[in-house]
Amino acid sequence: MSGIEIAHGCAKGERPLIPQVCRVVEITQETPDVKSFRLQTLDGRKPFDCQPGQLGMFGLLAYGECMFVVSAQSDEWVQFTVKKVGLVTEQLHALSVGDEVSLRGPYGNWWPVEACKGKDMLFISGGIGLPPVRSFLLYCLEHREDFGRIDLVYSGSKYDDLVFKEQLFDIWPNEPDMHVHVSLYHEDPQWDGPVAYTAPFLETLELGPEDGNRVAVLCGGPSLSRTCREALVGVGFDEGHIITTLEMRMKCGVGKCGRCNMGGHFICLDGPIFTLEEIASMHSDV
Amino acid sequence: MILTKQNLMPLLRNLTGAERDVFVPTQVDGVSKFALMDKGTVPDFEQVNTTMPPKDLLFPQTQKMYHFDVDANGSYRIHEYDESREQLVFGIRPCDMRSIVCLDEVFLTKGFVDEFYANAREKLTCVCIGCASAAETCFCASMDVDPQLAPNADVMLQDCGDVYNVIAQTPKGEVEVAAWAPFVEEGVVEPVTCEQSLAVSMEGVVDKLEGMYDHPIWDNLSIKCLNCGTCTYLCPTCHCFDISQDMRRKDGVRFRCWDSCMFSEYTMMAGGHNPRPEKLERVRNRFMHKLNFFERRYGMSLCVGCGRCVEKCPVALDITRLIDDVAAIG
């Protein structure tokens, strides 16, 4: 069974290192330390056209810039969902609507939306791993007839850490043939649902490969990725049908500054999206 | 066409002009490097390799990319710098010319052109001097470089003892050499053969390394590495960079500067995860990049055999020994 085919090195662009000044047009507090920012150009347009899964370098001229997956987009804006973990993200969290920011991109490849047509989709993520996965999930929901059953398996350390709660609990469960499964890693007074780590929780759901007709889309930290890969392989998934989006420290976004390499591949340019089968054939430190 | 060595300095003095900067190998504060030629500069064309590689002519150690300001309303404006000047580098060696082949691949291909490099590259004229003799750490001939040839140089000067063969190799080189008429004469002389005492065999090494990612050789190699980064700064092909900024009051500048894969912060992520946390991963990544990864991506070695890292590594971590060791593994 051949794996899902993913395009690599497909991003092209002019003047990749010069940002444009953009404006924050909407801010959503997703969790105590996660916010989503919608950005437009100063004259009110969408900053760039991009495919779901592509990256943007979002930041502040005075403080620096970081790479994020575009977590959602419309014809008028792009959105980034940012967890406050360091110097730049702390400054991003201090932004107000109307503030000016810097943005460059898009970079990298995109989710294999064509190759997944007609498939059942199993999205798996933990914590801040959901925004990158959501870019694909939103595409599937916008093109609902092109995809089969959709499952989302999502976990967080505690209730407050779950991002996109409105979509998770009120919107997505009501989408046709979409099944949302949420667990927390620890007991929480705000939570009466399942308490389990993602991989064992995933195992209880008995979502198999359906003879290659189901594609798993995985994004989380190193241990979530490892354990969920094992769980998926354990129920018969081949690694060509498990897709992930990788993250590493990045500076340029176009395969030149050097640091995000996995062997001879650069996550920013050839990735961030690979099948696990592809990653297994690389010299990966990730 | 030939240029006598007596005519070298008169030619060089004639080349410096207001419209471009001329760089020559010389000593600056005790460090051998390519530096701007002015009246007091004493070029050194005898030393085979400068300590510092010439890569900063195309990829400065620190380079301002653009600057910006913010007004009282929090409104930002980005300003670009005026384009750089024409540069001529005189006396660059064939190994360093090969390094420019590698840098051209990195900065000018794969979907995105690095405009800062492209601009400097377009404005750089290279006059390469072939090597009649080698330093004891030179091994370019083992890395597919001919010490008397550099196909990508605009002008090649082959060292023939008392004279140089002058070969214009590009349209830019032809224009350059046309202006040298008062200093050159007709003729062709046999170049001196450059003997290198240090040699390695790369046969099979790229393919062998492919299967050696988890080999104990990396433990043995990395254990003495100090992660000082000297090798990366002196390497003519190392091109990793950081991007940062400096802002005072209402004005700021965004710049890039050389970075080094030998440093743990290089891959440290904001959440605390580091995919290459130890020396082993970093040393392995560097040597694999030189000898395997780049070959797979661009079809050429990222080591040009200049020998700078071999000479300057404080703990004698020697890439030629690694190549020998890999070659010796059955």
B70 and A16: CB-CB below 8 Å?
no
Nearest to A269 among B110, B259, B296 (CB): B110
Nearest to B267 among A61, A62, A259 (CB): A259
Residue of A nearest to B285 (CA): A263
Smallest CA–CA distance, residue B95 to chain A, in Å, is: 21
Nearest to A286 among B70, B76, B275 (CB): B275
A85 and B111: CB-CB below 8 Å?
no
Query: Tens digit of pLDDT for each residue in A205-228?
Result: 999 999 999 999 999 998 999 999
Q: Determine phi and psi for B120, rounding to 5 degrees.
A: -65, -35
Nearest to A251 among B241, B271, B294 (CB): B241
Sheet containing B251-258, strands listed edge to edge, beginning at the edge strand earlier in sequence: B76-80, B62-70, B251-258, B241-248
Q: How much is the average pLDDT of A197-210?
A: 97
Smallest CA–CA distance, residue B318 to chain A, in Å, is: 21
Angle at B182 between CA B176 and CA B185, to 5 degrees: 90
CA distance A16 to A21: 14
Question: Choosing among B102, B248, B254, B264, which should be mutated to test the A contact, i.e. which has the most A CBs within 10 A?
Answer: B254
Question: Choosing among B110, B218, B256, B276, which should be mutated to test the A contact, i.e. which has the most A CBs within 10 A?
Answer: B110
Smallest CA–CA distance, residue A273 to chain B, in Å, is: 17
Nearest to B76 among A13, A21, A252 (CB): A21
SS3 string, A232-249, reads: HHHCCCCHHHEEEECCCC
Which residues from chain A sit within 8 angstroms of residue B69, using beta carbons?
none
Closest by CA position to B243, among listed A84, A269, A63, A276: A63
Smallest CA–CA distance, residue A279 to chain B, in Å, is: 14
Smallest CA–CA distance, residue A190 to chain B, in Å, is: 26
Residue A1 reports pLDDT greater than 70: no
**What pLDDT is attached to residue A50?**
96
Residue B17 reports pLDDT greater than 80: no
Of A12 and B291, the structure prediction assigns the larger pLDDT to B291
Angle at A247 between CA B220 and CA A149, to 5 degrees: 130
Smallest CA–CA distance, residue B82 to chain A, in Å, is: 15
Q: How much is the average pLDDT of A173-199?
A: 97
Residue of B nearest to A98 (CA): B74
Which residues from chain A sit within 8 angstroms of residue B211, using beta carbons?
none
Query: Tens digit of pLDDT for each residue in B142-170?
Result: 999 999 999 999 999 999 999 999 999 99
Q: How much is the average pLDDT of B73-97?
A: 95
Which residues have a Cβ under 8 Å from the Cβ of B37 and sit 6 or more positions away?
B12, B16, B22, B23, B24, B26, B43, B90
Q: How much is the average pLDDT of A234-256?
A: 97
Smallest CA–CA distance, residue A147 to chain B, in Å, is: 31
- Residue A20: DSSP 8-state: E
Residue B36 reports pLDDT greater than 70: yes
Which residues from chain B sit within 8 angstroms of residue A85, using beta carbons?
270-271
**What pLDDT is attached to residue B265?**
94
B241 and A13: CB-CB below 8 Å?
no
Residue of A nearest to B265 (CA): A249
Query: Could you tell me what percent of chain B has a pLDDT over 90?
Result: 94
Smallest CA–CA distance, residue A15 to chain B, in Å, is: 7
A61 and B245: CB-CB below 8 Å?
yes
**What pLDDT is attached to residue B84?**
80
Smallest CA–CA distance, residue B229 to chain A, in Å, is: 15
Q: How much is the average pLDDT of B303-309?
A: 98
Domains and CATH numbers, chain A: 20-107 (2.40.30.10), 120-245 (3.40.50.80)
Structure confidence at residue A102 as a pLDDT band (50, 70, 90): very high
Q: Helix, strand, coil proportions of chain B in percent (round to 5)? A: 35, 25, 45
**What pLDDT is attached to residue B39?**
86
Q: How much is the average pLDDT of A176-188?
A: 98
The answer to pTM > 0.90 is yes
Query: Tens digit of pLDDT for each residue in A261-283?
Result: 999 999 999 999 999 999 999 99
A11 and B111: CB-CB below 8 Å?
yes
Q: How much is the average pLDDT of B304-325?
A: 97
Average pLDDT, chain B: 96
Q: How far is CA B272 from CA A80, A227, B267, B277, in A?
A: 21, 20, 10, 10
B78 and A21: CB-CB below 8 Å?
yes
Residue of B nearest to A108 (CA): B111
A65 and B243: CB-CB below 8 Å?
yes
Query: Tens digit of pLDDT for each residue in B213-270?
Result: 999 999 999 999 999 999 999 999 999 999 999 999 999 999 999 999 999 999 999 8
10 Å CB burial of residue B40 (0-12, 13-18, 19+) is exposed
Which residues from chain A sit within 8 angstroms of residue B214, using beta carbons?
none
Nearest to B65 among A17, A89, A221 (CB): A17
B247 and A99: CB-CB below 8 Å?
no
Which residues from chain B sit within 8 angstroms of residue A10, using beta carbons?
111
Which residues from chain B sit within 8 angstroms of residue A250, using beta carbons?
none
Domain count, chain B: 1
Tokens of B289: 């990049």
Smallest CA–CA distance, residue B89 to chain A, in Å, is: 24
Which residues from chain B sit within 8 angstroms of residue A248, using beta carbons?
267, 269, 275
**What pLDDT is attached to residue B330?**
75
A61 and B70: CB-CB below 8 Å?
yes
Q: How much is the average pLDDT of A158-169?
A: 97
Q: Quick check: helix, strand or coil at residue A275?
A: strand
- Residue A170: DSSP 8-state: I
At B92, which amino acid appears?
I
Which residues form the domain of B309? 2-328
Task: List, in sequence order, the alpha helices (H) in chain B.
Answer: 8-15, 94-108, 115-122, 171-178, 205-210, 217-222, 230-234, 279-288, 294-298, 308-312, 319-328
B243 and A252: CB-CB below 8 Å?
yes
Structure confidence at residue A198 as a pLDDT band (50, 70, 90): very high
Closest by CA position to B243, among listed A51, A102, A175: A102
The pairing of beta strand A214-219 with beta strand A120-126: parallel
Identify the weakest region by mean pLDDT among A24-28, A156-160, B271-275, B312-316.
B271-275
Query: Could you tell me what percent of chain B has a pLDDT over 70?
Result: 100
Structure confidence at residue A88 as a pLDDT band (50, 70, 90): very high
Which residues from chain B sit within 8 angstroms of residue A265, using beta carbons?
297
Centroid of chain to Cα A234: 24
Which residues from chain B sit within 8 angstroms of residue A102, using beta carbons?
76, 78
Identify the weakest region by mean pLDDT among A118-122, B14-18, B205-209.
B14-18
